[in-house]
Amino acid sequence: MKIIVTGGGGFLGSRVIQALLDGKDAGTGAVEFDQVVSLDLAECPVADSRVASVKGSIGDAELLHEIVTEDTVGIFHLAAVLSGGSEDDFDLAMNVNVDGTRALLEAARGIRNTPRFVFTSSLAVFGGEMPDSVPENMATQPESTYGMVKSIGELLVNEYTRKGFIDGRICRLPTISVRPGKPNSAASSFASSIIREPMNGMKSVCPVPVDTKLWLSSPNAAVTNLVHAFEIDGENIGGWRVLNVPGLSVTAGEMLESLTRVAGQSARDLVGIDYDAKIDSIVGSWPGAFDVERTRSLGFVSDTDFDQVVQQYRDDFIAG
Ligand SMILES: NC(=O)c1ccc[n+]([C@@H]2O[C@H](COP(=O)([O-])OP(=O)(O)OC[C@H]3O[C@@H](n4cnc5c(N)ncnc54)[C@H](O)[C@@H]3O)[C@@H](O)[C@H]2O)c1
């Protein structure tokens, strides 16, 4: 029995694979499998005999049909062009995030086991006038190419589920912070840089006003929630398969206060404010809080507070 993880070479995908192998959250709904296939342009970094790393594109329909075989019990679809990259290259975003998602859904359609299909959506599907706390059934109104392609993905996964082709679970992930490594092409990349860089003795800039509200999750909580989304019974989710994944609502200024408390004033002094209108226009259009009552009742979790998220980054990634 096989689980496929697209984007398995990436940040969250590789961590989801590791969590599946470790049997984390393997509660009552755990799905049995003996192989994980990573499909990504990049090599999967997880070294384990149960993992097969296939390098290729989700735009390659022939390859998808080779990989998505009758023994497929689950698919995590994480491969994507991220927010900054999508805004810069509309055609690439359409090819990978819309055509690729549809090709993957088509490959999964007709598989005997009706695979569980976890799709990573984003708060970027929202824009325009928003209530203080965004409910799951609010109509999407994206103000970026990334939000638009994710919104189409949500509708596709929902409809393929309604038709009984797959068993979909759509996770609207918060912005992930603190992400280790280097800045990436996400417009929200600063949400990690303003903590990560100063904690490693490097300068960083905050490109949005400090009162900008962000909806955040640590990598650990996000991965736990993605695996949980896979393992819960689809019937408990209901007909509309969108899940507002729990997060923390904090301003950029509050993040910097957490940095000061955990890493000291010297770390805080390494962060400057340098307004970037392009980043602000994307990130500023995203909601800062979500209604997560239902997802909490379904067993999804969030971090306690942002100080704890910064401490988690320090404990996991700063030597010493
Ligand atoms: N990190 C966040 O803050 C966040 C928030 C909300 C949603 N998401 C979503 O979660 C998913 C994973 O994000 P991440 O942070 O791990 O990003 P990431 O960039 O680390 O991983 C994405 C992976 O997709 C791969 N990829 C890109 N184009 C591909 C293609 N044509 N074929 C195959 N693979 C391709 C990349 O090589 C990369 O390894 C994405 O769908 C992203 O939109 C992330």
pLDDT in tens, 160-185: 999 999 999 999 999 999 999 988 88
- Contact call for residues 309 and 151 (beta carbons, < 8 A): no
Q: How far is the CA of 260 from the centre of ligand 1 (A)?
A: 30
Any atom of ligand 1 within 6 Å of the Cβ of 80: yes
Residue 311 belongs to what domain range? 187-215+248-288+303-317
Spatial separation of the C-alpha atoms in residues 313 and 67, rounded to whole Å: 35
Which residue's alpha carbon is at the smallest distance from atom 18 of ligand 1?
Answer: 10
Spatial separation of the C-alpha atoms in residues 64 and 43, rounded to whole Å: 17
Any atom of ligand 1 within 6 Å of the Cβ of 120: yes
Same domain, 135 and 166: yes
Any atom of ligand 1 within 6 Å of the Cβ of 7: yes
Residue-level pLDDT at 110? 86
Same domain, 38 and 160: yes
Residue-level pLDDT at 185? 80
CA 64 to each of CA 157, 161, 304: distance values in angstroms, whole numbers, following the listed order: 17, 19, 39
- Contact call for residues 279 and 190 (beta carbons, < 8 A): yes
Which value, to the nearest 10 degrees, does the dihedral of the CA atoms of residues 268, 286, 169, 227 take? 0
Any atom of ligand 1 within 6 Å of the Cβ of 173: yes
Same domain, 163 and 50: yes
Number of domains in the chain: 2
Beta strands in 58-115, from DSSP E residues, in sequence order: 72-77
Torsion sign (Cα): 286, 232, 81, 303: positive
Q: How far is Cα of residue 141 from the mean position of the Cα atoms in its chain?
A: 19
The catalytically annotated residue of 146, 160, 275, 313 is 146
Contacts of 269 by beta carbon, 8 Å cutoff, 6+ apart? none
Q: What is the CATH number of the domain that holds 197?
A: 3.90.25.10
Same domain, 233 and 106: yes
What pTM, to 2 d.p., does this model score?
0.95
Does residue 293 lie in a domain region? Answer: no
Query: 146 catalytic, yes or no?
Result: yes
Q: What is the mean pLDDT of the chain?
A: 94
Any atom of ligand 1 within 6 Å of the Cβ of 97: no
Q: What is the CATH number of the domain that holds 33?
A: 3.40.50.720
| Positions in the chain whose pLDDT score sits under 50 | none
Same domain, 273 and 235: no
Which ligand 1 atom sits closest to the C-alpha of 14?
Answer: 16
pLDDT digits (tens, 9 = 90+) for 202-232: 999 999 999 999 999 999 999 999 999 999 9
Same domain, 48 and 123: yes
Q: How far is the CA of 89 from the centre of ligand 1 (A)?
A: 15
Same domain, 227 and 94: yes
Tokens of 205: 């800039």
Same domain, 224 and 198: no
Classified as helix, coil or strand, 39 is strand
Same domain, 91 and 205: no
